[in-house]
Chain A
Amino acid sequence: DGGITQSPKYLFRKEGQNVTLSCEQNLNHDAMYWYRQDPGQGLRLIYYSQIVNDFQKGDIAEGYSVSREKKESFPLTVTSAQKNPTAFYLCASGRQGRTGELFFGEGSRLTVL
């Protein structure tokens, strides 16, 4: 089945460690996105990529990094520079077209111990 796969679903990290969240899609979408969700808040955009080997910062990019070496993959690294990394992270992809809705993975919950 086509979709977006995020892993791991749950991740625990010690302070000072970098962690990488995986996002893979087989929908053949050009655009991919990373959002962060905190309790009681909506989704905030971290990074996005419209095409392979190109990506742009979103609204809260500080302390995060990404790469886009393949169309199917858009991993997110949460670095030790991110001051408050405990959150729910959602990856999405989107197609061109009239509506251009985003399709989301099931998310990764990161907890810093």
Chain B
Amino acid sequence: AQKITQTQPGMFVQEKEAVTLDCTYDTSDQSYGLFWYKQPSSGEMIFLIYQGSYDEQNATEGRYSLNFQKARKSANLVISASQLGDSAMYFCAMREALMDTGRRALTFGSGTRLQVQP
């Protein structure tokens, strides 16, 4: 089974509007973290936002917010007031077993390509 599922291969949004990118995850761990990264055409992965499984409030970072619904195992990224520079690939990722100091690698979804239209 996929650990991270992003069901939207591509999305379009008008400049200045808000957009939601979907992410669902699968884990049996109680302690885990969820991440969103942006990948522009240059290829570098840019960290956007983090949500811990025990965090009581949804994470926010500037124009980015994470709509975390633990019971539904979803962690959707909301980008408000879209800008042309937001056009990129967006990846959802998870780290399981946060208490385990061993493997701390992230597992990534397949990504969503967002295109912001003027």
Contacts and interface: CB of A to CB of B under 8 A. Distances in A.
Q: Do A and B bind each other?
A: yes
A92 interface: yes
Interface residues of B, number: 27
Contacts, number: 61
B104 A104 contact: no
Contacts of B35: 99, 101
Nearest to A94: B104
A79 B111 CA distance: 28
Interface of A is mostly: strand
B91 interface: yes
Given A101-B47, A104-B44, A107-B44, A42 B105 contact: no
A69 interface: no
Given A43-B91, A99-B50, A33 B105 contact: yes
Interface of A: 31, 33, 35, 40-45, 48, 50, 56, 58, 88, 90, 92, 94, 96, 98-107, 109
